[in-house]
Structure 1
């Protein structure tokens, strides 16, 4: 199947919001949109598969109505709809593996409580080979036109100790398509160990790994320079993207969720811990930062898998 954007649809407002976001993303990329709905076909009994016409008709009607709605909004967009004969998580993982990205819905629980993510979405997020974007209802719509007046920045959560090129490229490309600024946020805590590729910075870290009661200004400078170094080649590759670099002390999840309040998209990475294993046999894992962000960020969140290991000596 040619390059396309996929969205999981189950009839909920959350999934319809995700499909709407995916349609706009497909327009930005000049790609078709594929809507998918997972439905477990009835088991065979005595070699014959019993029918469940009501369930199947509902699922087919759901997909067709979503397809018609989106093609009505975006006449130039090619939209297909597929009913997948499998349970939701495996079906969505398969759909994600064949797409440039997969959009899923997440459910709001209120301002301070955060947002609820079901077990299926968590399983897909933790195991997908391609980026997964979480969208909740009520998002301010992103205008697909590159000449639109009102835009919101893309926020990138980045740890310079990981060479996560896939995550950085995704964020820069998203900002470039939207003609919006990119804000890169690196959250650090003293003592902060710079990557070995920064020999000058590494010389300023504390010996023995013991935290100091007062923050040495050099730690903040270390973090700032490491962030700038990680972004430098991507600034050169995307010269038209306006970039703001924020090296902030504190919890990454808190700072990223706060930055997401004014963002159109938040991009974070998910490290694939056993990249040497074949797809489908890799461990499903989401880190603490990813959990905090996907439950509290108010804008769509893109979780981008990457295979880089942490730099030696980093925490």
Structure 2
């Protein structure tokens, strides 16, 4: 198997929880389908955090065992997958952000979802989504068993255009319908409220004529609410990280809402 270029590299962060296996499975499936390399990583806190040095040594040993076990499991499913492991040391979000510099996709898990509240839930995945230098896939531990469709949000921004391109590629890879969601303002001046969705659909038809597609225009909900509802039971949701905020924000309000209310695996482009 040929070595993939550096940007054809999926990094999957495992934390030792049950959710980590979902992360490894999702990342391995995508890496294998795309011909990418896969690196499974576990972050161990710095030695000074541990009251007893032996506890740090034990944490490193547990990390090694975890990564070896998960790597063996995914290699059994995908024998030709180029899968490596690495142990990083430091604060988890900071360490993963550094690894994202050489990755094409960072995959993290989260315990955040419907019915979970409090600042402790999903905090690492949120920080990684904000600081990562590559697209981030966030995989909830309670992803629906029966799912279909790739949902993407569009708003006319360059950020959304990037999300649309990524989502169309994922729809082709997964052989799923692409669902273009636009929360329209029926009172907006300057053109039909469906112009954004229509132009997005035209772009998909030109560049991905082989995938099925439909438009979902929502004149009732906010963009965040529309995407949350549309992604119920979806196989994947793709959104731009910054939306119309552009370079002036680290992560847009829509992405913030989605991260705190995950309904399905979600990629922030």
Structure 2, unpaired ranges of 5+:
none
In the alignment, which residue of structure 2 is the partner of 1:258? 229
RMSD of aligned residue pairs (Cα, Å)? 2.5
Matched, 1:244 2:206: no
Aligned match for 1:184, one of 180, 183, 195: 180
Question: Which position in structure 1 is the counterpart of 2:241?
Answer: 270
Query: Which residue is 1:118 aligned to?
Result: 122
TM-score calculated relative to the size of structure 2: 0.85
Say which of 56, 62, 66 aligns to 1:62: 66
Aligned length: 256
Rg larger in structure: 1
Q: Which residue of 1 aligns with 2:167?
A: 171
Q: 1:193 to 1:22 in 2, by over 3 A?
A: farther
Structure 2 counterpart SS, 1:176: helix
Secondary structure in structure 2 of the residue aligned to 1:223: coil
Give 1:140 shift: 4.8
Change (3 A) 1:89 1:113: closer
1:106-255 equivalence runs, <5 A? 106-108=110-112, 111-113=114-116, 117-140=121-144, 152-162=148-158, 164-194=160-190, 201=191, 222-249=192-219, 250-255=221-226
Tell whether the 8 Å contact from 2:147 to 2:233 is kept in structure 1 after alignment.
Answer: no
Q: What is the DSSP-based 3-state SS (H/G/I as helix, E as strand, rest coil) of the residue aligned with 1:82?
A: strand
Q: Give the C-alpha shift of residue 81 in structure 1.
A: 0.5
**1:297–1:87 CA distance, 2 compared to 1 (3 A):** closer
Equivalence for 2:14: 9
Higher helix proportion: 2
Q: Hey, what does 2:260 align to over in structure 1?
A: 295
In the TM superposition, what whole-angstrom CA distance separates every residue of 1:96-145 from its partner, at most 9, and x where no partner exists?
22111111111155x4557974322211111212111111124356xxxx
Deviation at 1:171, TM superposition (A): 0.5
Tell me by how many angstroms 1:274 deviates: 7.2
* 1:65 to 1:104, Cα distance in 2 relative to 1, 3 A: same
Distance 2:112 2:9 in 1: 28
